[in-house]
Structure 1
Amino acid sequence: MTERRFQGPFGRLRSPERLARLEVGWVAERLAGDLTRPRVLDVGTGTGVFAEAFQPYGEVVGADVNAAMLEAARELLPEITFVQAEAERLPFPDHSFDLVFLGHVLHEATDPVQALRESRRVGRGRVGVLEWPFREEPQGPPLAHRLRPETVRTLAAEAGFSAVREEPLTSMVLYVLEG
């Protein structure tokens, strides 16, 4: 990633952007690489690290609840559209996107099943979910704030997804939901 992305007290950040920074490109390629010019929605975009990674594959829209983060993302990536929205109420028509990416927001959602339903509604059947692995480690949230893989599978089934693949990364877990 470029230096402009990580200015400031980098060592104190505890974000998936920091922890998964070397895997960002792999995640984007894994989710979007087999799609032809996909339209991608990056929910929980933060400062736009994943939105930027998805950009070579197609059109990207970023969404986040944090206005300050969106402003930073807009400044860094003026060519990408960023909108303020929460995962449970996405302001887009049905089937607007080929891929929806939930970047470390599912565990924070007030209603995670509704967040997945919204992702499924605005997407066309493929949703990527990046979350912390369910293990104790020195960085990241405590174990009580992490989702077990079986919890992700249950939430996905309740939201109407027919398949969930778990792909462990170095510091995070990528869940690919389809159907």
Structure 2
Amino acid sequence: MDAASSSAQRRFDQWAPTYDDGPLQPVYRSAHRGVVGLLATVRAPGRLLDLGCGTGRLLRAVGRALPHAALVGVDRSATMLAIARRTAPGAAFVHAHAERLPFEDAAFDVVTATFAARHWAAPRDALHHIRRVLAGGGAAIIADCLDRGPRRRGPRLDPGRCLPPPWDTLLAQSGLRVRSVEYVEGHGPVPTITLIVAIAPSS
């Protein structure tokens, strides 16, 4: 683990006890609503992986929407995972990095990442692993504050025009096909949240 990753892990370990009461929770809730809403538009997720799952809040929402799905959360912070195991007992949790996912190929139908991509030390490696663990036809749903252009909101914008760099290039190089990009309302210092749906081609 490099120094930057080690520092980030310590920061999240320290943040974990008060994470669910933090000032950014309205932003995360908005992103989670967007992600859960998009689940109805992709391949039915019998197996879902949440990267950077934190205290498991998104997985709790997914569990309510998809009670029969097998849910797995990954986070680099062992302290976050300890809380997640208590608050989301219906999910399984693994201590790992997005850049080195310890799962077999094609193990999941959907991979989600909510405000996690900004913390990836090597986004190219993380996207490679997302593509690897997705079954053919499966979907990656990435929610983050990625838009560096004019603030736009609206459904299903043209991904060719609206996907912010360098994510257009990174996703293409990973083998994931961008299906849609949309912007939803955030909160406070994060007024706009980017939602990307990218599909793993069927073999």
Into which bin does the TM-score normalised by the smaller protein fall? 0.7 to 0.9
Larger Rg: 2
Aligned residue runs from structure 1 range 26-175, under 5 A: 26-32=34-40, 34-55=42-63, 56-57=65-66, 58-124=69-135, 125-134=138-147, 149-171=164-186, 172-175=193-196
Displacement of 1:75 in angstroms is 1.0
SS at match of 2:142: strand
* C-alpha distance in 2 between matches for 1:103 and 1:19: 10
Q: Which has the higher strand share?
A: 2
Residue identity matched to 2:114: G
CA deviation vs aligned residue, 1:136-155 (integer Å, no higher than 9, x gap): 9xxxxxxxxxxx71211111
Displacement of 1:92 in angstroms is 0.6
Compared CA separation, residues 87 and 173, structure 1 to 2 (3 A): same
The reply on whether 1:13 has 2:23 as its aligned counterpart is yes
TM-score by length of 1: 0.79
Residue identity matched to 1:165: S
Displacement of 1:159 in angstroms is 0.9
SS at match of 1:163: strand
Q: Is the 8 A contact 2:32 2:114 kept in 1?
A: no
TM-score by length of 2: 0.70
Count of matched residue pairs: 160
Displacement of 1:132 in angstroms is 0.7
Q: CA RMSD in A?
A: 2.4
CA deviation vs aligned residue, 1:10-42 (integer Å, no higher than 9, x gap): 77533xx43131452342131355543521000
User: Which residue does the alignment assign to 1:176?
Assistant: 197
CA deviation vs aligned residue, 1:65-118 (integer Å, no higher than 9, x gap): 011111111111112111111000111100110000112222221110110110
Identity %: 31
Range that drifts further, 51-60 or 28-37: 28-37
* C-alpha distance in 2 between matches for 1:154 and 1:81: 32
* C-alpha distance in 1 between matches for 2:61 and 2:146: 22
SS at match of 1:117: helix
